[in-house]
Structure 1
């Protein structure tokens, strides 16, 4: 069963979902010319050289495999220098997200996380999983947590197996959220029972992040620089 942290409901438009979180996919005959696409890829490559990676779009196996590889590579290059991961994601696969999470904990460098736009569901979980003291958000971002969503089908035994798997993921994720935020497990269970939205300021008060980046120039720099701000609540 592929379990997803459900996607947000809203205005639906006809879009083509990228097969990779870094390189856009277009229908035949659509999209920018090859030169523009090459420039886009060049920008991503330049950011990567500065140890900046992106968690953008739905969290799936393709995204997880790319981010895991990037984290492992940057760890091998320099285990003492921070990595910065910008999160703009509505959530996605629990297992894919946990692959990223476990790798973040496995490698030696600190991983700073920054929310830009939206960090919902597994996106919010990964945002909170950054190194404590180095988790940030831009001021107008939105953060949302909730319980895992999924469905079960088949015979009664199959349904029971899948339901138990969902309960496992819920308990596991809520336990980590309690640790990351400092909130009690009881409060996490209560707040994640439904979609729980927060502003950047509210997310800081909740313990999901450590600061709100108010200076736009700081957002363009590796977060090691942002962490040098005198007021950790805003930089």
Structure 2
């Protein structure tokens, strides 16, 4: 049996092999491009914020190497996509967070002022603590500032204070604290509108009564009370020093009586008589005694005017006053 062999030149074989390799490479390239196209269509491109380094990096990886985002480990202790960083971090600084306009449009650009400053802007001075040196310093400074700003506009003083004592009667400040605020009020050119909102006791009652005549007000359920000044705690003080302090308290009492008589329209004897013991007044009684001029409640004055005074109620009930201070 004869076998015929055909001799093929080496150049022809090499040319055929080269053309086959090129066709295979072109086929693989087309397949890879189609895969990349399908993979790219499946990847949701996140919105890119140029100020956000995390989203910028994520978008860059999605555009250049989509298989990195598709082939994610199923169980991984690393939070999603943070392994794309050599040194993972969510944000360079909190300031790089871009918020919506509606979130920031009403936020103040500077820290808000403290509450006394806000009230001062409305020409309101609020005395809401016992009259200690720190309170006196602030109130006097506010009064002088408001007069300097406008000597013609009125100043409104809201009072809720137990004076120079606490609510249990213990002395916390010198009587001169109340006299200092009183003297500052008397030196002002402005009208002083005083309003009692809660309690006006002792020296605070004097400040309430010292407002401009006709501009002294009281909330319907507020209380006013006048009382004698108290001797501060003497501790281990020598007897001679205790006597000196007692004389000073008597002097302050006389001054307080004169000032209350001046602003309430009562005689000094009447004020001294009711001051022997703590003399509490509701809004109606305070108006009758001359501490205030008007009760701040719509329709309250008419209601109170129609109510019989306590003495008539006692008389109608057959109650007799045994001892009257």
TM-score class, shorter:
0.7 to 0.9
Structure 2 gap segments, 5+ residues each: 1-110, 165-172, 300-304, 306-325
More strand by share: 1
State the partner residue of 1:51: 123
Offset of 1:72 from its aligned partner?
A: 0.3
TM-score normalised according to structure 2 size: 0.53
2:272 alignment counterpart? 189
Could you say what secondary structure the match of 2:143 adopts?
helix
Aligned-pair CA distance for 1:158: 1.5
For 2:294, the equivalent position in structure 1 comes to 211
Return the alpha-carbon distance in structure 1 between the equivalents of residues 298 and 120 of structure 2. Answer: 22
Does 2:177 correspond to 1:177?
A: no
Q: State the partner residue of 1:85.
A: 157
Which residue matches 2:181?
Answer: 100
SS of residue in 2 equivalent to 1:136: strand
1:40, distance to aligned residue in structure 2 (A): 8.0
Task: Measure, in 2, the Cα distance between the counterparts of 1:159 and 1:71.
Answer: 35
TM-score (norm 1): 0.72
As a proportion of its length, which structure holds more helix? 2
The Cα shift of 1:132 comes to 1.3
Q: RMSD value over aligned CA atoms?
A: 2.0
Residues 128-180 of structure 1: per-residue CA shift (max 9 Å, x gap): 11111111001110111111011446333222211110111000011000001
Aligned-partner Cα distance in 2 for 1:132–1:61:
28
Instruction: Give the Cα separation in 2 of the matches to 1:88 and 1:211.
Output: 17
Higher relative contact order (CA 8 A, sep 6+): 1
| Cα deviation code 1:85-108 (max 9, x no counterpart) | 000011113111111110001111
